[in-house]
Amino acid sequence: MNSNQSLINELIRNGYLKTAGIIRAFERVDRIDFVPYEWQDQAYQNYPLLIGYGQTISQPATVAFMLELLQPKRGDKILDVGSGSGWQTALLSDIVGEQGQVIGLEINDHLIELGQSNLKKYGFHQASIVKGNGWQGLPGQAPFDKIIVAAAGAFVPWPLKQQLKINGCLVIPVGQGIQDILVIERDSEVDFTEQNYPGFVFVPLINNRDK
């Protein structure tokens, strides 16, 4: 694959991309703009790439799969935990539009700067990247319609569930080794519904206490 469209065509053909708004975001937000220079010849390959500091830009199929599970909509307020180089934050920003809001949460100062720089290429006024611990979420900005997490913890952080609106959705990888992607919907103040999709590998969700 040597173009953004060829990557998109593969993701559609293999059933990862299905929803029109998500497909449009992939068309408008080019992965190459979020990949370090030394890996740009591989930007349209369907595998993760290093972005420095032990982190990666996720495999396109995985990003597409998780966004299809999340089902972001125009006007949504979304927390993107582990924003990295900013690609998923930008995809979400295109989907929610100017009436929505996407906040990327990142723990690494260098990646915050990288992600912010990459977002400026698209001029998304509804998008920002801030520093924070993904295990704690962003309580000062809660509640959120949707929360998506790009790194795996051993369990689901309770603060993230608490920061969902009623009928909100959290998509998060959980486990060690081979991990599950969980889809958690908040049915009421105390009730949650959960579905799981096994067979993934993510970098770990860093906690400040781990540093």
Catalytic machinery residues: 58
Give me the helix-helix angle, 60-70 and 4-13, nearest 10°: 60
- In this structure, what token pair is assigned to residue 156? 């689901």
Give me the helix-helix angle, 60-70 and 20-28, nearest 10°: 140
Query: What residues contact residue 129 under an 8 Å CB cut-off, 6+ apart?
Result: 83, 86, 89, 103, 104, 105, 106, 112, 115, 116, 119
CA end-to-end distance (rounded Å), the chain: 38
Q: Which of 25, 29, 73 is nearest to 169 (CA)?
A: 73
Query: What residues contact residue 59 under an 8 Å CB cut-off, 6+ apart?
Result: 46, 47, 48
A 10 A CB-CB count for 100 gives 21
